[in-house]
């Protein structure tokens, strides 16, 4: 027998349908893979000319930092014979030799190797004048060899360790590197490492481990690169739509898009990202050049990475600046046609 379609039954069916729709919408939101900042950028592009549909899809061309064997250089282990070691006991250098030959000394991290080699060279220069004349040439040979190897020791401590790999990891979820202080702190740490790389004998364990610890505590480098790449994509897409409508713009609609979407949501994000990215990209590139130019070895994998990711002219920063310039010019043309002055750029 058929069940009559009563008003109460229709109400229950309608409520059930609304529940299914709401659950479906919630599931769709949960499945949105793009970070909030990127969703706003895509919505802004679509709002310029909704008739063209959503913003074009973005694919990433960012590279991961090469694995450690491709970004570090193996160094020879130097030893001092027992007779030479005994002749050094009258100065602090004897303690350094003993430290390196100890169990812990044989498994030094790359960062502590830099601290040790700097201390060794400082002590060796102080020790040499008081050494037996027959032993001085031997020590001088060791000093010369260690000085020639020091740029490689510095390189391994900075670019061969896990800290730089964590800093430039591309696994961050949110896409707003300017929302906190991590990017600026990382830029400061990179700048400090560059200053020590230029004068490596002045390094101390506290300064070095402090700077490396800052790099290890965030993914700010990777976050900045991802944000710059996203901005370049969406600003280019927005500029393309503005250029297409410029001959006959819907002025009132575009004014609202500019004020509500761009000035209200996108421009503050652009400004935050720019403020965070500019010093970090510059510090990364300066540190790479300072250390790579002194390195006698050839490391093609990380050279290619630095050229593609860190170079301000050829990397994500350069593409972002080009897209920003194009986007600004497109809005200026629309504003001139429509007779309104953009209040944010």
pLDDT digits (tens, 9 = 90+) for 25-56: 444 444 456 678 999 999 999 999 999 999 99
Q: pLDDT tens digits for 277-320? A: 999 999 999 999 999 999 998 999 999 999 999 999 999 999 99
- What are the φ and ψ backbone dihedral angles of 204, each rounded to 5 degrees? -125, 155
pLDDT at 17: 45
Token look-up 């899809």 returns 57
Q: Is the dihedral of CA 75, 197, 159, 109 positive or negative?
A: positive
Instruction: Kindly state whether residue 94 falls inside one of the protein's structural domains.
Output: no
257 is written with which tokens? 């898009």
**DSSP-assigned letter for residue 103:** T
CB 317 within 8 A of CB 334: no
**What is the share, in percent, of the chain residues with pLDDT greater than 70?**
80
Domain count, the chain: 1
To the nearest whole number, what is the mean pLDDT of the chain? 86
Token look-up 């391994």 returns 156
Q: Name the band, by pLDDT with cuts 50, 70 and 90, for residue 75.
A: confident
CB 306 within 8 A of CB 217: no
Identify the burial level of 207 via C-beta atoms within 10 angstroms of its C-beta, where 0-12 means exposed, 13-18 middle and 19 or more buried.
middle
Instruction: Kindly state whether residue 110 falls inside one of the protein's structural domains.
Output: no
Instruction: Kindly state whether residue 135 falls inside one of the protein's structural domains.
Output: no
Q: Among 180, 177, 192, 190, which Cα is nearest to 216's? A: 190
CB 272 within 8 A of CB 178: yes
Instruction: Kindly state whether residue 93 falls inside one of the protein's structural domains.
Output: no
3-state secondary structure of 209: helix
What pTM was estimated for this model as a whole?
0.84
75 is written with which tokens? 């160094």
Instruction: Kindly state whether residue 153 falls inside one of the protein's structural domains.
Output: no
Minimum mean pLDDT among 21-25, 52-56, 263-267: which range?
A: 21-25
Q: How far is CA 256 from CA 48, 55, 263, in A?
A: 10, 18, 10
d(CA 97, CA 135): 15
Q: Among 64, 138, 73, 62, which Cα is nearest to 110's? A: 73
Instruction: Kindly state whether residue 308 falls inside one of the protein's structural domains.
Output: yes
Q: Which residue has the higher pLDDT, 120 or 8?
A: 120
Q: Among 196, 195, 227, which Cα is nearest to 60's? A: 227
Range of the domain at 68: 37-72+160-345
323 is written with which tokens? 């897209």
Q: How far is CA 287 from CA 65, 68, 154, 296, in A?
A: 15, 18, 11, 16
Instruction: Kindly state whether residue 61 falls inside one of the protein's structural domains.
Output: yes
Instruction: Kindly state whether residue 22 falls inside one of the protein's structural domains.
Output: no
């Amino acid at each position: 027998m058929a069940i009559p379609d009563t008003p109460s039954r229709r109400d229950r069916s309608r409520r059930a349908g609304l529940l299914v729709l709401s659950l479906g919408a919630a599931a769709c939101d949960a499945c949105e893979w793009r970070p909030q900042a990127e969703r706003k950028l895509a919505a802004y592009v679509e709002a310029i000319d909704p008739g063209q549909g959503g913003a074009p899809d973005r694919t990433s061309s960012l590279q991961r930092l090469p694995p450690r064997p491709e970004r570090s250089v193996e160094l020879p282990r130097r030893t001092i014979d027992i007779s030479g070691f005994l002749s050094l006991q009258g100065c602090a250098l004897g303690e350094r030799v003993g430290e390196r030959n100890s169990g812990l000394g044989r498994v030094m991290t790359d960062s502590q190797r830099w601290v040790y080699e700097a201390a060794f060279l400082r002590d060796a220069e102080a020790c040499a004048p008081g050494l037996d004349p027959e032993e001085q040439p031997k020590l001088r040979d060791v000093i010369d060899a260690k000085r020639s190897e020091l740029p490689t020791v510095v390189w391994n401590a900075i670019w061969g360790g896990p800290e730089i790999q964590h800093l430039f990891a591309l696994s961050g979820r949110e896409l707003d590197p300017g929302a906190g202080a991590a990017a600026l702190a990382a830029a400061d740490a990179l700048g400090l490492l560059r200053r020590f790389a230029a004068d490596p004998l002045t390094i101390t364990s506290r300064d070095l481990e402090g700077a490396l610890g800052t790099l290890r505590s965030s993914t700010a480098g990777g976050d900045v690169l991802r944000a710059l790449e996203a901005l370049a994509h969406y600003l280019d897409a927005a500029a393309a739509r503005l250029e297409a409508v410029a001959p006959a713009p819907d002025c009132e609609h575009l004014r609202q898009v500019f004020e509500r979407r761009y000035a209200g949501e996108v421009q503050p994000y652009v400004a935050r990202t720019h403020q965070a990215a500019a010093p970090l990209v510059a510090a990364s590139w300066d540190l790479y050049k300072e250390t790579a130019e002194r390195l006698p070895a050839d490391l093609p994998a990380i050279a290619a990475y630095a050229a593609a990711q860190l170079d301000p002219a050829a990397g994500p920063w350069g593409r972002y600046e080009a897209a920003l310039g194009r986007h600004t010019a497109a809005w200026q043309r629309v504003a001139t046609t429509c007779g309104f002055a953009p209040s944010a750029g």
